[in-house]
Structure 1
Amino acid sequence: MRISSNLFFETGLRTINLQQSDLMHRYQQVGTGRRMITPADDPLAAAQTINIAQSQSLNVRYAENRQVAKTQLGIQENTLDSVSTLLSGLKTRLVEAGNGTLSDADRGVLANVLENAKDNLMGLANATDGNGQYLFSGHSGSRPPFIADSFGAVSYQGDEGRRLIQVDQTRQLDSADTGLDIFTKAAPGARDYITHVAAGNQGTGIIGKPIIADPKGQYVGAKFELSFTEAGDGSMEYSVTVRDAADYILSGPSVPVAYDDSTETLALPGGVQVAFSGMPADGDAFSVEPVFVTDPFISAQQSALGTEGTAVLGKPGVTDPAGEYMGKQVDVAFQDNAGTLQYQLTVDGATGPWVDYTDPGPGGVLDLGGGLEVAFEGVPNDGYAFSVEPVEPSTNLNVFDALDDIIEALKTPIQGDPAAHANYQNVLASAMQRLDVNFDQVQTVVSSVGTRLSEIDAIDANSNVRGLSYAQDLSRLEDVDYYEAIAQLQLRTAALDAASMAFKKIQATSMFNMKG
């Protein structure tokens, strides 16, 4: 085989270039500390590196989100601690207001103190975070949650939106509670009753704190209305009307019961008792209202009487608390379609198809879907309709309204007027009951905030472990082994020197240099 001089030179030059390229690659590895200079060095490891780097980046983003949530929750916790302190002081003031030795002037001074406390409470309710956003206004962060009208009545102006922050791959956390929940509602699970007195009462009857005597009583969770009338012999009688959360009458008015002013409690139907003293006048009225509901839905016939046929409508039931129809009104209408009875559902205005109806029989239920059912049996007539409506406690628990009521009562002269004194005591008792409920709710929210902060700490600890694992995996895939790289660098340097010397040797070879 004949080897030309060009082939000698090309082979030598190509060998030197390859060795230089390999040497440069080793220089880059040692200089950057990275094992992979290009994805071609290790395609599989390069793909794994991209996935791990993305996970690491998300982990860092979630950590930053958690820091934001911790800041927001910390501000809320500090604000609510101040609210708790203020409410505790107000409760002490209300106990002081019940002192029978106070004059009208003393009560007027106390009214001024409570007005200042109300202003302070409103300032806390309208607190902002470090970015100028209102803490308790839901999604309406640029709008103050509570606004007073020209008469001083305070109402909630925010929305019920939740400020959710993604604190982990599968966890969103509420970073702020709404003022509606904190200052106008009872704590979940609360089973308290609040008393109210009619504005026009003329007697000296004083209603006290209600208690649930029988937790399984038939009307626990219902509203009670007491009406006093004067009997023909001049004695006082009272009757009781029981209503549900939607104000439908469940029972009553009851047969009048003789009132004995020496009694200390009145037994209301269905498991509730209430403290009572004094002598009410003819026409005086009182109410005992729950801050909770035992049934989240109620049912009521909507069509004209006579359309029910043999149908018997009972109570609704919840089959799935997370169902589609939770918190929505469901209207059910029946029609006779050529001899076939059918029913149709309308959920919050959205009408569904007609469905053939089959009588469930005695003790049966009609499954409405969406997590709801209703006790129903019999065959209704064409045109029959009923509704299943969500309900919430109707009791007014706005803490600012409670303060307004007691401030107005403190400003009203009562000296020498037994009826006015009784009305004052009733308003004071109602305000104290509502403040107790508000205070419990604030404490519940503070506890919830602490729980969320603890959860963030736990997620942080887990995130740190994940971050360390991601860093180790990236190091294993990307970082160069300096011992191996330096050894390879020396080896490639020697190889390049050898290739250069060989090329020089070949370059010096010539037919004219050979001896004959």
Structure 2
Amino acid sequence: MRMSFNMKFNLGLNGVINTNAKMTRAQEQLTKQTRILTPADDPAASAKVLGLDQNLAQTEQYQNNSILLKNNLALEETVLTNMRTSMDRARVLAIAAGNGTYTEQDRRAVSAELKNIQVELLDLMNTQNAEGGYIFAGYQDKNMPYVFNPITERFEFQGDDGQKSLQLSPTIALPGNDSGKFVFDDVNARFKTTAPVIAAGGATSAFVSVTNQSRFDNFYRDNYDSLTPANNNFNVVLTAPDSYEIQRNGAALVPPVTGSFQPGQPISFRGLSIEINGPAVPGQVDFSLEPPQKRNILDTLNAFVIALEDPSTNQFQLDEAIQDALVQITNASDKVDNFMATIGGRVNVLDSVFETNEDLKINNKSYRADLSEVDYAEALTEITKQEIALQAISATFTKVSAVSLFDFIR
């Protein structure tokens, strides 16, 4: 076969170019630490690597969400813990206010400290996170959740019941906040009765007080009728010569509740103490179960402070105010404890999911490495081999390209 100068030159040049391209490709694989430089190198592995990259990016975002969520929950837990401490102090002060030796000045001192606790609790309930959002305002985190209304003289909630959730995995999302509507406002006020009314007879006064709160609470829950308000009315019917019967809306209870009556001697009934004074027989005294109410800790302390500072408050009214405060502080504390428990549960789930995601990242990275990462020894060997081949081809090309007919004539 005859070979022209151009053919010889092009063959030599192509050899140099191809060998140089192979060496460059090996160097690029080593530099980028991957054997797949383009999808054409390995279409199947390239598709799998792309999917793994997407999964790794998604998992990384889940991990960032987990860190943010944990920080939010830690902030809420810290706030609730501090509130719990303040509530315990308020309970101690409420108990102390019932000391019979306390003067009006002593009660005012208690009132002053309770006001400071109220200010502290209000500040904690209006806590903001690092982004400036109010953590207990629900979705309305740009609005201060608790504001005092001078018209109603109550602290009113300005947020909503929303919870902002963060995705921790494709199927798990956890809320990073709790609405003050559930933490602070959804708290039962003390169950009690209305003031007694002398409906008939010559009684001069009557008092109904709760002496066993837990027993009365059970009675209240079993008997309060929200559909028929008349069923919440109770009557103490006094008959000659010295008997009483307690009825419900004019009908005898089952079984009947009867006994001997003496003016000034308390009648015990389902955790209540009913005291009727004066020539009451025959006669009747009526009272009712008050409708259930919800009251936040700020309003509870506000009402208690007013009772302590009012010089006209008698001992019976003071005792009732103390009992109201104690029961409602306890209920508020229990509610805070419940939400702290839910935060702990969320943190446990969060930690478990976080560890699972870390394991998935390791597995995906390992699989991705198996599919795409370059073998360093192989890449270095290939570079060396192609470098030697390039040197050989270059030297051969130089010698061959220099050969001509005149070289043979000489």
Shorter-normalised TM range: 0.7 to 0.9
Specify the code of the residue in structure 1 equivalent to 2:25.
Answer: H
- Equivalent position of 1:100 in the other structure: 100
Deviations 1:198-235 (A, max 9, x none): 36876333123444699899936756735445646597
Q: How far did 1:183 drift?
A: 1.0
Distance 1:460 1:145 in 2: 32
Deviates most, 17-26 or 204-213: 204-213
Identify, as 1 or 2, the structure richer in helix. Answer: 2
- Equivalent position of 2:117 in the other structure: 117
1:198 aligns with 2:194: yes
Structure number with higher relative contact order (C-alpha < 8 Å, ≥ 6 residues apart): 2
Q: How far did 1:277 drift?
A: 4.8
Aligned residue among 279, 287, 309 for 1:411: 309
TM-score (norm 2): 0.82
Identify, as 1 or 2, the structure richer in strand. Answer: 1
Does the C-alpha gap of structure 1 residues 8 and 481 become closer, same or farther in structure 2, counting only changes over 3 Å? same
Q: Is the 8 A contact 1:198 1:284 kept in 2?
A: no
Does the C-alpha gap of structure 1 residues 237 and 404 become closer, same or farther in structure 2, counting only changes over 3 Å? farther
Distance 1:469 1:216 in 2: 60
Q: Is the 8 A contact 1:204 1:423 kept in 2?
A: no
- Equivalent position of 1:299 in the other structure: none
1:396 aligns with 2:309: no
1:462 aligns with 2:360: no
Distance 1:203 1:97 in 2: 25
Larger Rg: 2
1:426 aligns with 2:324: no
Distance 1:403 1:218 in 2: 25
Would you say how many aligned residue pairs link Structure 1 and Structure 2? 386
Distance 1:108 1:218 in 2: 36
Q: How far did 1:56 drift?
A: 1.1
- Equivalent position of 2:146 in the other structure: 146
Q: Is the 8 A contact 2:62 2:169 kept in 1?
A: yes
Q: Is the 8 A contact 1:210 1:288 kept in 2?
A: no
- Equivalent position of 2:201 in the other structure: none
Q: Secondary structure at the match of 1:94?
A: helix
Q: Is the 8 A contact 1:34 1:480 kept in 2?
A: yes
Q: How far did 1:236 drift?
A: 6.4
Q: How far did 1:421 drift?
A: 2.8
Task: Quote the RMSD (CA, aligned, Å).
Answer: 3.3
Q: Is the 8 A contact 2:216 2:272 kept in 1?
A: no
- Equivalent position of 1:497 in the other structure: 391
Deviations 1:155-207 (A, max 9, x none): 11110111111122221111111111111224xxxxx8932343687633312
Q: How far did 1:77 drift?
A: 0.8
Does the C-alpha gap of structure 1 residues 440 and 497 become closer, same or farther in structure 2, counting only changes over 3 Å? same
- Equivalent position of 2:180 in the other structure: 179
1:255 aligns with 2:263: no
- Equivalent position of 1:483 in the other structure: 377
- Equivalent position of 1:279 in the other structure: 276
Specify the code of the residue in structure 1 equivalent to 2:207.
Answer: T
Q: Is the 8 A contact 2:232 2:289 kept in 1?
A: yes
- Unpaired stretches in structure 2, ≥5 consecutive residues: 198-204
Distance 1:100 1:134 in 2: 42
Q: How far did 1:91 drift?
A: 1.2
Specify the code of the residue in structure 2 equivalent to 1:91.
Answer: R
Distance 2:120 2:312 in 1: 28
Q: Is the 8 A contact 2:189 2:295 kept in 1?
A: no
1:452 aligns with 2:346: yes
1:161 aligns with 2:158: no
Deviations 1:7-54 (A, max 9, x none): 222222222211111111112223333222222222222221211111
Does the C-alpha gap of structure 1 residues 472 and 264 become closer, same or farther in structure 2, counting only changes over 3 Å? farther
Q: Is the 8 A contact 2:224 2:232 kept in 1?
A: no
Q: Is the 8 A contact 1:212 1:220 kept in 2?
A: no
Q: Is the 8 A contact 1:196 1:427 kept in 2?
A: no
Deviations 1:62-86 (A, max 9, x none): 1111111111111111110111011
Distance 1:478 1:26 in 2: 14
Q: How far did 1:149 drift?
A: 1.0
Does the C-alpha gap of structure 1 residues 76 and 422 become closer, same or farther in structure 2, counting only changes over 3 Å? same
Does the C-alpha gap of structure 1 residues 217 and 179 become closer, same or farther in structure 2, counting only changes over 3 Å? closer
Distance 2:76 2:15 in 1: 72
- Unpaired stretches in structure 1, ≥5 consecutive residues: 187-191, 241-251, 267-272, 290-393
User: Counterparts in 2 of 1:67-86, with a 5 A limit?
Assistant: 67-86=67-86
Q: Secondary structure at the match of 2:206?
A: coil
Q: Percent identity?
A: 22
User: Counterparts in 2 of 1:169-248, with a 5 A limit?
Assistant: 169-186=170-187, 194-198=190-194, 203-211=206-214, 219=222, 225-228=232-235, 231=238, 238-240=246-248
Does the C-alpha gap of structure 1 residues 485 and 253 become closer, same or farther in structure 2, counting only changes over 3 Å? farther
Q: Is the 8 A contact 1:414 1:421 kept in 2?
A: no
